[in-house]
Structure 1
């Protein structure tokens, strides 16, 4: 079982095998995002009802598991060196940080009609990024020209993300917090990448697990329609 860790500055520095100067994390102000980008707790109900606007993004659990698997292997602080089949066992049994997956998705789905919640599927974003930019802008009461939509879509393109030092985490590789030989923090950004890790048997097992959790809900992931 992978046990959750408290990702404080002291924790990160103690887990690093290299000597890091005092300015390392000062120069990279968004380092905490590395540990919370994949799954954040849903904001407290009182916060949502009062002032917050929440953009909730749901993704097919098989793609989520593969993405998290490579993320855990990449970051030294997690210390995961196992294979994907073992990781799926943890994922399915809710034995990972930020679990359980289905409780999180169901909570977001139930609140999707609240005026300050925008519920999106990752698969729809991937299919129509400009349309998603327009939808989010409208949700945030922002007016964008078509030129601005095009500029934003280009900025958010996965290839540009991969080259963007503000989000690609290359700095953490330079200071020794990411394992060498693993896939990069910004990977493929696509849909259906789970096929590279699931064996036919594991896929059948995952499909049964997904069906069991979806059968009493009206949640339907675009990729499974």
Structure 2
């Protein structure tokens, strides 16, 4: 890595078996005690796929998190909340996460891309192992209250996925509603929207001089970053980690 190991683990630490940002886990009591409401909608992603403010929001609330299923506050399960898990193939996630690391001044420098991928493969990045994250939520999706969506499917046929989402929320997928959602959730629309592109954050928190938060929104950008050797190593590790899972991803469309 481009920074020393001690410095890296000053910022991140093991938390119940998951590497987490120490700044986040210091307020864990608030997270764990979070009281979900039955009509809350939880949207979950692994990174690159405010408890107090949420308490004051009116229902129905949309709650976003990167937490692995084992760290999710129990009240979400107790209240039988609906949950949407959006996942993306590991190679594109690694690329996007690398650029995100570069954008956060408080994070240790990630070093070269290949060095970062080594950390990614070993789960030594915030929110832990991508493999554990997606597999645990894949198991949870056996519950009809959990909808599992693939980023690649959204890129390929956004209309189909939007209709699936609307039906999951027990709404009527009218043509007008579907078209409106597709328009407002297009990559270009979100890239230009300050409420989704994070450009309102000060430079000392997120530097857009390094990269834009929403970079390309495509599938297969990993081919521009992985060397042949790194790709072969990654594929071997991936097969070993995912061999017992029925979860299948597409790395290109």
Residue aligning to 1:5: 22
The superposition leaves residues 57-92 of structure 1 with CA deviations (integer Å, 9 ceiling, x where unpaired) of 121111111111100111112132511111011111
Q: Is 2:213 the counterpart of 1:185?
A: yes
- Distance apart, 1:105 and its partner CA: 1.2
Match of residue 110, structure 1, among 139, 142, 161: 139
- Distance apart, 1:211 and its partner CA: 1.1
SS in 2 for 1:110: helix
The superposition leaves residues 138-185 of structure 1 with CA deviations (integer Å, 9 ceiling, x where unpaired) of 111111311211111011000001110111111115x54223541100
Q: Is 2:226 the counterpart of 1:198?
A: yes
Give the alignment's Cα RMSD to 1 decimal.
2.5
Q: Is 2:247 the counterpart of 1:219?
A: yes
User: Structure 1: which 5+ runs fail to align?
Assistant: 9-28, 31-35
Determine which structure has greater relative contact order: mean sequence separation of CA pairs < 8 Å that are 6+ residues apart, divided by chain length: 1
Match of residue 84, structure 1, among 113, 138, 144: 113
Say if 2:131 and 2:242, in contact at 8 Å, map to a contact too.
Answer: no
Say if 2:187 and 2:217, in contact at 8 Å, map to a contact too.
Answer: yes
- The CA distance in 1 between the partners of 2:208 and 2:137, in whole Å, is 35
- Distance apart, 1:120 and its partner CA: 1.2
Residue aligning to 2:193: 164
Q: CA 1:194–1:217 in 2, change beyond 3 Å: closer, same or farther?
A: same
Residue aligning to 1:95: 124
User: Structure 2: which 5+ runs fail to align?
Assistant: 13-20, 26-52, 55-62
Q: Is 2:75 the counterpart of 1:51?
A: no
Say if 2:68 and 2:137, in contact at 8 Å, map to a contact too.
Answer: no
Q: CA 1:220–1:45 in 2, change beyond 3 Å: closer, same or farther?
A: farther
- The CA distance in 1 between the partners of 2:22 and 2:175, in whole Å, is 44
- The CA distance in 1 between the partners of 2:120 and 2:224, in whole Å, is 17
After superposing the two structures, state which structure 1 stretch, 130-139 or 214-223, moved more.
Answer: 214-223
Say if 1:55 and 1:119, in contact at 8 Å, map to a contact too.
Answer: yes
- The CA distance in 1 between the partners of 2:82 and 2:206, in whole Å, is 33
Residue aligning to 2:38: none
- The CA distance in 1 between the partners of 2:183 and 2:121, in whole Å, is 36
The superposition leaves residues 82-120 of structure 1 with CA deviations (integer Å, 9 ceiling, x where unpaired) of 111110111111111101211111111112121100011
Residue aligning to 2:104: 75
Output the TM-score relative to the length of structure 1: 0.80
Say if 1:73 and 1:182, in contact at 8 Å, map to a contact too.
Answer: yes
Say if 2:110 and 2:116, in contact at 8 Å, map to a contact too.
Answer: no
Output the TM-score relative to the length of structure 2: 0.71
Q: Is 2:238 the counterpart of 1:210?
A: yes
